[in-house]
């Protein structure tokens, strides 16, 4: 004797595999014959299933952000101190970054704008910034930050990411990036050809780095060893516009550049930066337009002193 369940299963099989059957109609008839069928229960199950499916879709979409946040949050300083910059003794005028404890950060008389520019620009041209409050360029701070103890100190890229996280924590800094067309300086090879060395025949007399203080020493001296063109473009950002590398020169070079820190004007003995680049490096700087990535500051607050 066939049970009602067996009869239903046979009808379902016939409805699915029958050559002239319509699947939707067969299923509808079977559901009407099922004595325990409840439209209310079915609608509830469908609703619950839909919510669960939607949750899976949302989780899948934001999962990469969770992963990225987790990775970024690990690169943080163990401790950081940010205080208004202390007055410096007469004759000692220092501002900028230097190695800190355990490969961390030590900065004297730096602004939020300086820290943002350093940590977001990398070794290339300084990224243009918009939306920075006036105090972010005016107020200066002394900063000491120490990383977690480890077998090796943080790399330069890791240190920059740690600084970005510190700025988000202490200055409540929120930013986003946009690409815009704007006036730039284009760096290209001059007519006479580039005057660059892949390596100096003997060690440079000056250590790598630079010194430039128009009040104490009018001539700026920059020395860069085994540096790409992006590093030179970053230095030239002091001209007031983003510098786009259009030289087509790949690899690394040794640069030595000397120019006058003063505003030359019509002074005959003054060596302007743009002239120095062409005379000493065989490169030229021309006004142009180009697509540039801009860092937009959405929010920033003055930090609590500690």
Residues 6 or more apart in contact with residue 118 via CB below 8 angstroms: 97, 160, 163
- In this structure, are 127 and 61 located in the same domain? no
20 and 151 assigned to the same domain: no
Q: Tell me which residues of the chain have a pLDDT lower than 70.
A: 1-73, 88-96, 98, 101, 123-124, 200-218
Would 263 be classed as within a structural domain? yes
Cβ contacts of 237 within 8 Å, gap of 6 or more:
125, 126, 243
Taking alpha carbons only, the member of 167, 175, 173, 174 closest to residue 82 is 167
**Domain final position from 20, 46, 72:** 72
Give φ, ψ of 31 to 5 degrees.
-65, -35
Q: Are residues 218 and 263 in the same domain?
A: yes
| Alpha-carbon distances, residue 81 vs 52, 88, 108, 305 (angstroms) | 46, 18, 12, 8
In a domain? residue 305? no
Task: Quote the CA–CA distance of 191 and 46 in Å, as a whole number.
Answer: 74
Q: Do the Cβ atoms of 162 and 120 come closer than 8 Å?
A: no
Give the structural domain span for 23. 4-72
- 29 & 159 share domain: no
Q: In the chain, how many domains are there? A: 2
pLDDT of residue 271: 86
Alpha-carbon distance of 282 to 58, in angstroms, equals 55
Burial grade of 90 (CB within 10 A; 0-12, 13-18, 19 or more) = exposed
Shared-domain flag, residues 29 and 103: no
> Which position has the token pair 């704008």?
113
Q: Are 148 and 78 in contact (CB under 8 A)?
A: yes
Tell me whether residue 238 is in a domain: yes
pLDDT at 43: 57
- In this structure, the answer to whether residues 194 and 283 fall within a common structural domain is yes
- 183 in a domain, yes or no? yes
The b-or-e profile of 96-106 (16+ CB within 10 A means b, else e) is ebeebeebbbe
Structure tokens at 229: 């063109």
* HEC string for 193-222: CCCCECCCCCCCCCCCEEEEECCCEEEEEE
Separation CA 187–CA 236 (nearest Å): 9
Same domain, 141 and 221: yes
Render the burial of 39-67: b for 16+ CB within 10 Å, e for the rest. Answer: eeeeeeeeeeeeeeeeeeeeeeeeeeeee
Q: Is residue 173 part of a domain?
A: yes
Q: Both tokens of residue 185?
A: 């300086």
* Domain assignment present for 292: yes
Same domain, 101 and 59: no
Identify whether residues 67 and 79 lie together within a single domain: no
Looking at the structure, do residues 101 and 216 belong to the same domain, yes or no?
yes
What is the reported pLDDT for 31? 47
- Same domain (yes/no): 112, 240: yes
Neighbours of 255 (CB within 10 A): 23
Residue with tokens 């950002």: 237
Residue 306 falls within a domain, yes or no? no
The answer on 43 and 83 residing in a single domain is: no
Q: What is the pTM of this model?
A: 0.60
Inside any domain, residue 229? yes
Give the residue among 80, 71, 116 at the shortest CA–CA distance from 299. 116
């Amino acid at each position: 004797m066939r049970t009602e369940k067996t009869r239903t299963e046979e009808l379902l099989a016939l409805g699915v595999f029958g050559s002239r059957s319509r699947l939707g109609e067969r299923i509808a008839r079977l559901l009407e014959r099922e004595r325990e069928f409840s439209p209310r229960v079915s609608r509830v199950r469908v609703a619950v299933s839909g919510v669960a499916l939607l949750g899976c879709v949302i989780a899948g979409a934001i999962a990469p952000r969770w992963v990225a946040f987790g990775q970024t949050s690990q690169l943080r300083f163990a401790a950081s101190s940010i205080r208004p910059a202390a007055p410096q003794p007469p004759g000692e005028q220092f501002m900028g970054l230097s190695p800190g404890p355990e490969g961390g950060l030590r900065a004297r008389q730096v602004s939020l704008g300086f820290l943002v520019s350093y940590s977001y620009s990398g070794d290339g041209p300084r990224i243009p910034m918009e939306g920075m409050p006036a105090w972010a360029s005016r107020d200066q701070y002394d900063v000491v930050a120490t990383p977690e103890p480890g077998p090796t100190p943080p790399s330069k890229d890791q240190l920059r990411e740690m600084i970005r996280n510190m700025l988000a924590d202490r200055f409540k800094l929120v930013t986003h990036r946009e690409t815009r067309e704007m006036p730039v300086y284009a760096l290209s090879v001059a007519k006479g050809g580039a005057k660059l060395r892949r390596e100096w025949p003997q060690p440079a007399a000056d250590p790598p780095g630079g010194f430039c203080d128009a009040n104490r020493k009018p001539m700026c001296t920059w020395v860069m060893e085994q540096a790409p063109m992006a590093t030179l473009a970053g230095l030239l950002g002091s001209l007031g516009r983003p510098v786009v590398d259009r030289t087509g020169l790949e690899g690394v070079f040794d640069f030595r550049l000397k120019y006058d820190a003063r505003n030359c004007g019509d002074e005959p003995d003054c060596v302007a930066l743009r002239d120095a680049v062409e005379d000493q490096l065989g490169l030229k700087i021309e006004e142009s337009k180009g697509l540039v990535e801009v860092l937009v500051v959405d929010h920033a607050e003055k930090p609590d002193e500690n």
